[in-house]
Structure 1
Amino acid sequence: MDRSRDVLEAVRDMGVDLLDGAELPRWVLVRRRSEPAAEVDFDAVVGSGIRDLADGLGGLAGRRIAVGVGSRGIRDVAAVVAATVGALREQGAEPFVVPAMGSHGSSHASGQAAVLADLGVTEEALGVPVTATMDTVLLGRTGSGVPVHLDAAVAAADGVIVVNRVKPHTDFAGDFGSGLAKMAAIGLGNITGATVVHADGSAELPRVITEFVEVLRDAGVLLGGVAIVEDSLGRTAEVAVVDAEGVAGDHERRLVARARSLHGHLPFEDLDVLVVDTMGKDISGAGMDTNVLGRFWIPGVPEPSGPHIAAVTVHRLTAASRGNASGIGLADLVPAALIADVDLPATYVNALTSGTGGLRRSRLPMVLPTDRDVVHAAARMCGRRTIRDVRLVRVVSTLHLGEMLVSEPLLDAVAADPSLEVADEPRPVVFGARGELPAWPHL
């Protein structure tokens, strides 16, 4: 007998009126006022940057250059990778693509290639090989004696250029954040290298990543990177080619500082309930952006100063995550449908690789039958005596914060914020016949 299935069915059959007949406050669609999107000519910017990089390296003609690509759902990643491959070809190099994502893709070469395909990064689209392997070689050791493992295909090449978004890290508040340095140190080592980097705990990641980058740079493996900076709506605001000295150096720090200034955030410092429709590895390494939630939940790492959210619910796992629900422990309540989509081995491998970063985030939240039960339970448990006073916000994901559904008790705060505008009339929260989340209003 499959006991786990019995438990899930028992949860689905709870049938409890969690609000005892009370109604949630009405909510209204709120949008951010935004500046026009930046116009970035990927081919021109990347082409110029790669030319300068090639000149600084004495030319790239005839050299086999790996292009490292990760697992995040970056809006323009396929176009930027294509521009990078094209620019390298113009310099006479022989580029090929490698997954640079540590233990993601279920820690299998085929799984990592599939993740890249989901992002539009394929041999057919780029006209160059996509070489996925989990094999590594021992490149050397850091000054403190930690072994540096490197993807075998990269080790056999004449160097690597990594392509990644730079932004504040979800595990720590370091000044070079998440981006080129992290991908070089963690992503290029596959599961073996990623495990080693995380072994000292997330609080030590800035130091360990810097040491790994130094080894890669000194060995002549890391040639540089192509950085993508996105605005608060997930649109590309800047693309920059960074040389090897700039990775984990001043150039990347400047880019992360700009990314931090543009980073999406909730416009409220105190919430009772945050409803997140979807989580996933393509959205954030932690499934949901911890900087948005105001939760790191890692031993030894200080918590962010805000926002303060009493209860977080999440309701779906993206298909691109392929069952990897790493970060699910950042939520307080989830529906049974999400749990049914979780691949525990993939999730736990990622958690184990992350060390202290996966310790608390891999815990299962409270599981209830439907979306309705989850939201109602969060409203009941958030510390607000009167349900109609609950300060609730609903978002599609922590990556998509351009519009949100906001409960009426927050409308005074909306009116006081010039960056927000009310786009609809308040409407009651009416769940579907099976307790599913209401559809988003389309105006």
Structure 2
Amino acid sequence: MYPIMYNVRQYFDAPPAIDCVKTIREEFERVGLKDIIKPDSSVAITAGSRGVTNIPLIIKTIVEEVKRVGGKPFIIPSMGSHGGATPEGQKRVLYDLGITEEYVGAPINATMEVKEVGRLENEMPVYVSRAALEADAVIVVGRVKPHTDFKDEVESGLMKMMVIGLGKQRGAQTIHAYGKEGYHKLLVPTARKIMEKTPIKLGVAIVENQYHETCLIKALRPEEIESEERKLLVKAKEWIMRIPFKELDVLIVEQIGKNISGTGMDPNVTGRFAWPEEKPPELPNIRFIAALDLTKETEGNAIGVGLADVITKRLFDKINFHDTYMNALTAGAIGLIGAKIPVIMPTDRDAIELLFRLSNKPIKDIRVIRIKNTLELATFQASEALLDEIKANPKLEIVGEGEEMQFDILGDLI
């Protein structure tokens, strides 16, 4: 016997999606791209490892606009140690995201070589991609959003893209070695040093709404990046997706992966942080989490799997331990938490039944939701124990009739 599950649609007060191509062209016109990029100058454009909506189109449009004013663009994979910290691996990550040389119309320089460009007051060295340093101009492209490990006025965005992305594996490992201090105290000073020593001419900040749609793109001059990123993060936090329940017994996550979140599944959704003290009070309290599979795009990198309580053998068999451990060790002590292997169960059914037993409640009283991943929360499944709360919430709608949770003959969740 399993709980009755209902399909639920969640509505958000979300800003509308924008026309990315039109917006980028307007923004570049506003900041005067033709005066920033000189004819025949080499222009490095960063590309990260996250599944940012429309990112292939955004990169392609930036390439076209740089060419239009006479620049010679190329792409730098900017993702720390992802892809196993190899040029081939990082190009493969971009390929899986749809960022190919053929599509965007520019070559990809995936060298992992870096150069030390200076030191902070605490003598921490600052590293930057050699390819970026040798370019005439650098355009930093990134999504501004809440970070998965810490809370501050600057989290994930253009400044982190400089430090972790352009810093490559060596730069990422250096700042991560400082743990929380690296995030809270060193991220911004490191980005400032990089802007001082690197030909960064422009930033392109992207913000998404609750439906994972591109709703804001803003071009920023270097002197604007820090102040504007702080403002954009406030908006991004307003527009983040949420699980609309404060207390849950079981969360079933169908897929985790680096293209979904830096920690495979976003703690800003699950409330499950590697550093529990970083958890904002408004996030849900979830007793048990089951992760059922990895995304194809994550290329076996299962970092963040340690935040689940149980996984399936299917997920375990897909783990690329080299890439996962490279990511974990680059991230420092917190990475070790994300790389720990939870209890492994043979099938979806075994994993879910285990958590139901541990909940120690009658089946009809278990508060459980099922999501595809932590980026897609507009629709999900919820158990009958949550029915009253769903009906009382004007932003939630039950779609169709409830059905008992079902598994196929192999034990896979249907």
TM-score bracket, shorter-length normalisation? over 0.9
In 2, Cα distance between the equivalents of 1:37 and 1:241? 19
Contact 1:174 1:206 in 2 (8 A): yes
Match of 1:320 in 2: 297
How much does 1:321 deviate? 0.8
Contact 2:175 2:182 in 1 (8 A): no
TM-score (structure 2 length as normaliser)? 0.96
SS at structure 2 position matched to 1:279: coil
Gaps of 5+ in 2: none
Deviations 1:191-230 (A, max 9, x none): 1111011110035313211111111111242223211111
Match of 2:274 in 1: 297
Does 2:130 match 1:152? yes
Superposition pairs for residues 412-423 of structure 1, below 5 Å? 412-423=388-399
Match of 1:262 in 2: 239
In 1, Cα distance between the equivalents of 2:247 and 2:404? 22
Which letter maps to 2:413? L
In 2, Cα distance between the equivalents of 1:126 and 1:59? 19
Match of 1:11 in 2: none
Deviations 1:121-179 (A, max 9, x none): 11111221111111111122223321111111111101311211111100101122211
In 1, Cα distance between the equivalents of 2:36 and 2:270? 46
Judge which range, 317-326 or 198-207, deviates more. 198-207
In 2, Cα distance between the equivalents of 1:128 and 1:85? 7
In 2, Cα distance between the equivalents of 1:170 and 1:200? 17
Match of 1:227 in 2: 205
Judge which range, 422-431 or 46-55, deviates more. 46-55
1:359 to 303, 327, 336: 336
2:83 to 85, 93, 105: 105
Match of 1:427 in 2: 403
SS at structure 1 position matched to 2:374: coil
1:377 to 325, 340, 354: 354
Does 2:389 match 1:389? no
In 2, Cα distance between the equivalents of 1:287 and 1:396? 12
In 2, Cα distance between the equivalents of 1:99 and 1:261? 29
Deviations 1:314-366 (A, max 9, x none): 10001111110000001001111110110111111100000132121111111
Judge which range, 141-150 or 70-79, deviates more. 141-150
Which letter maps to 1:183? M
Distance 1:271 1:261, change over 3 A: same
Deviations 1:105-126 (A, max 9, x none): 1111011011111111111112
Superposition pairs for residues 113-152 of structure 1, below 5 Å? 113-152=91-130
Contact 2:149 2:278 in 1 (8 A): no
Does 2:44 match 1:66? yes
In 2, Cα distance between the equivalents of 1:324 and 1:359? 14
Identical residues among aligned pairs (%): 36
Gaps of 5+ in 1: 1-22, 439-443
Does 2:392 match 1:405? no
SS at structure 2 position matched to 1:229: strand
Which letter maps to 2:324? T
In 2, Cα distance between the equivalents of 1:403 and 1:258? 23
SS at structure 1 position matched to 2:293: strand
How much does 1:243 deviate? 1.9
SS at structure 1 position matched to 2:303: coil
How much does 1:25 deviate? 1.5
Contact 1:327 1:361 in 2 (8 A): yes
Match of 1:12 in 2: none
TM-score (structure 1 length as normaliser)? 0.90
2:18 to 15, 22, 40: 40
1:287 to 264, 287, 291: 264
Does 2:220 match 1:237? no
Match of 2:155 in 1: 177
Match of 1:200 in 2: 178
Distance 1:295 1:246, change over 3 A: farther
How much does 1:88 deviate? 1.6
Q: How many residues get paired?
A: 413
Distance 1:53 1:212, change over 3 A: farther
Does 2:55 match 1:77? yes
2:319 to 342, 346, 351: 342
Distance 1:126 1:58, change over 3 A: closer
Which letter maps to 1:358? G
In 1, Cα distance between the equivalents of 2:379 and 2:104? 34
Contact 2:17 2:213 in 1 (8 A): no
Pairwise CA RMSD: 1.7
In 1, Cα distance between the equivalents of 2:298 and 2:353? 27
Contact 1:202 1:357 in 2 (8 A): no
Distance 1:36 1:353, change over 3 A: closer
Judge which range, 48-57 or 386-395, deviates more. 48-57
SS at structure 1 position matched to 2:373: coil
Contact 2:141 2:204 in 1 (8 A): yes
Contact 1:51 1:91 in 2 (8 A): no
Distance 1:326 1:205, change over 3 A: same
In 2, Cα distance between the equivalents of 1:192 and 1:236? 31
